Structure 1
Amino acid sequence: MPLLVSDFSWTQTDSTVHISVPLKGVRAGKVDVVCTEEYLKVHFPPFLFEVFLPEPVDDLRSAAKVGNGAALFTLPKKTCRAWENLTLTTLNGDQKKEIRLAALQKHQERISSECRRKAERRQADRKFSLQAATKEVAELRPPRPRGNIQVSFTPRVFPTALRESRVAEEEEWLQKQAAARRATAALAEDLQELREEERNPEWLKDKGDWRFAAGDYLGAVNAYNLAVRLNPKMAALHSNRAACHLKLGNLHKAVQDASHALGLLTPPVAANAAARVRASVRRGTAFCRLQLYAEGLQDYEAALKLDPENPALQRDVQQIRDAVRRGPSD
């Protein structure tokens, strides 16, 4: 559970609010800021500062400066008058949760829009540069003739008896994993405005896992979304995002993500068996919540076949079978 920051300071005029949050030794690169008209959050693990503003501010003109051991915020008020308190004290837990989720959604939409705009501008600049370079090269000399380079790799030896060998499937799985690791570089050029660690899908996956464990399911989805943009062939991202959608009640999206994960976890080999169990259970759970018990039973039985000694899976399969026999309720 994050530690709440209480030793902050704030001042105000009739038109502006100034807030100073001490970073307690955390580097500026580790600070995550969300600011909307009604909400301000500064997250620098393991510390958290958040306020539910009593009146709206102009978030588009707001400014933040992070460094020298503090995060400084300048928030222009939409209504020129003094505030009695910096944060609302009359909100209950549900109201805070609603404001928090709305703010995070708006923040993510703003980031996505800005990323698309920058990507479109860079794409146009790159296209123009490529056309100019191609024209220049064409004027200098003709293109080189094509050719092929033969590359050979040391064969991998699997400790499996020949009669039971699945070398072909194992090699196909290894090649897919290698292709997934190489896929990151292509899109990374379009995300230069992000910090170095935010361009690493493995780091983003860990961030999503941490957000999920902390109960911030929307934050976890946002981390997985960016990681999927960087590496759409990484099955764990789709499977973990399916778990988030289950928590958020987005059942159709959970089915879609779990199905995508299962499609990437091929061919079925021992190295991906545990991942296939998780993805099958998550899709089966979404089907059952949609009252599609027959489809859910198929996924749970597939998971139980991979992990037959799992008592929780055994109980769940029996309960779903009973639901299928009872049929739809009136």
Structure 2
Amino acid sequence: MMRKLFISFIGLLLATNVMAQDLKGIVEVNADRIQNVDPKVFDGLKKALNEFINNRKWTADNIKPAERIECNFLLTITKKAADDNIFEANLNIQSSRPVFGSGYNSPMVNYIDRDVTFRFDQGQTLQFDDARVSGNDALSSNLTAIFAYYAYLIVGFDYESFSLKGGDDYFKKAQNVVSNAPEDTKAIKGWKAAENNRNRYWLIDQILNPRFAAFRPLYYSYHRKGLDMMSTKPEEARKVILDGIPTLTQINNDNPTSIFFQFYFNAKSIEYQNILMQTPVADRKDYVEQLCKMDVPNTSKYRSIR
């Protein structure tokens, strides 16, 4: 596995035969807006979610402790049903991976999902089965389905950054979660194509869609031939990253208003800004203009260095 070879090469593997799980995650639950609920419910939810993320095997590989993928989840509960432990929430997902020859961790995922609805009762055990995503209770299953979906995306993008199309198996697992997601038309949102064009369905569809195929070799090169080479061949590494911007522009022109591009730039906009700051001023303008057109929410970052 390319990721394992990389970590071994930079000397981060621990001398141990103890097997670890795949994600090194921290899950926080913010329920400050919710009144008249025993705080032990949210303490139990936090504990259950941390165990769900960290104690489960998300990959088929034997991951060593130092290879675990760092990630964070912040579940902010915004509303509770009047007569049941049914909650609405936002979920902030972040992950990163180490960059060769540096102490820097590159952001891989930085995204907020605002369509999280679930049931959780004190003492409840969280369960998930890839073969039976929906479970017996749609609202209880929806919580684990959402966390599993993003766990597979985190793994997929991490593997994708170390080997070309290395994330395929995990992106397909995320797509399987979508295909078999819990159904409750009144409460559960985010899984169906017809709801809107910027939800979980469309995100994984665009990741795997042939219309976006040119992105995946670019993503691999960005990390392995760009960021990972920055400490030894900085000029060549920057050129690899900057040379990818016209390809991104073409994909974006062919797929305007896609959720995937905003998902990507949510994680990478600061890196593009920093790389352009190291580029001669005379060479920045065209790249800045292209980034501004693709990534409107972060326009001010790019224009500040033009």
TM interval, short-chain normalised: under 0.3
* TM-score (ref. length: structure 2): 0.27
Structure ranking higher in helix proportion: 1
* TM-score (ref. length: structure 1): 0.25
Please identify the structure whose Cα radius of gyration is greater: 1
Q: Which has the higher contact order (CA 8 A, sep 6+)?
A: 2
